[in-house]
Chains A and B, each alone.
Chain A
Amino acid sequence: QSALTQPASVSGSPGQSITISCTGTSSDVGGYDYVSWYQQHPGKAPKLMIYDVSNRPSGVSNRFSGSKSGNTASLTISGLQAEDEADYYCSSYTSSSTLTVFGEGTKLTVL
């Protein structure tokens, strides 16, 4: 089971919106609504930002939103803030024997 495909890096200015893509196959992202997104600051544990494609856990800013189309899921961050600068990982259930697969990770830089 290969990792889900994410861009290595994205960037945006404060106040702008950015979108991070996460591309898989019909065996994972495209086949199930069990996509989640995690934010990881350097030296810290990942933090759940989105689950089940588009649901936000309690306490997560509504500037973060998730969606899916076909085999590609997306995380959109609106009104970029300096504190959003971090690594972001997507994850999905997969019907392969691996069961859970992560994306390669995307480094978000706030300019």
Chain B
Amino acid sequence: QVQLQESGPGLVKPSETLSLTCAVSGYSINSGYYWGWIRQPPGKGLEWIGSIHHSGSTYYNPSLKSRVTISVDTSKNQFSLKLSYVTAADTAVYYCARAGYYYGSGTYYGRYLDYWGQGTLVTVSS
């Protein structure tokens, strides 16, 4: 059974860097799929942040791209999110998920997110 678990600080100061890790169990990251991060501000909808393949290939939401880095550690079967220069607008529940995709004609098509972590609330406040 595929399971994902987010971990990291629940409180980050403005202008600092938010860092989260997603540990995957029951499935090897090397076996395929992309692995993504999604966030949800309190009381609001979902926003895709970005996704990474075990090869290191990444895709980011352009609205966050200048501040986001997603990396993968296949030896630990986990992947990570770093979001720099955070503000109160970055306060949200952050989820990691497994991302189904299709790659054809040089184009990445994100299809679905089938396994999700439980989510972790990150608050940006001084």
Contact = CB atoms under 8 A, between A and B. Distances in A.
Interface of A: 3, 32, 34, 36, 38, 44-48, 51-52, 57, 89, 91, 93, 97-105
A97 B113 CA distance: 19
Interface residues of B, number: 22
B97 to A, nearest CB: 8
The 10 tightest CB contacts between A and B, nearest first, are A51-B112, A100-B48, A36-B112, A45-B116, A102-B46, A97-B62, A100-B110, A105-B45, A34-B111, A48-B114
B113 A99 contact: no
Contact of B113 (A44, A46, A103): A46
Contacts of B63: 98
A93 B109 contact: yes
A98 B45 contact: no
B30 interface: no
Contacts of B119: 45
Interface in B74-126: 95, 100, 102, 108-114, 116-119
Nearest to B107: A95
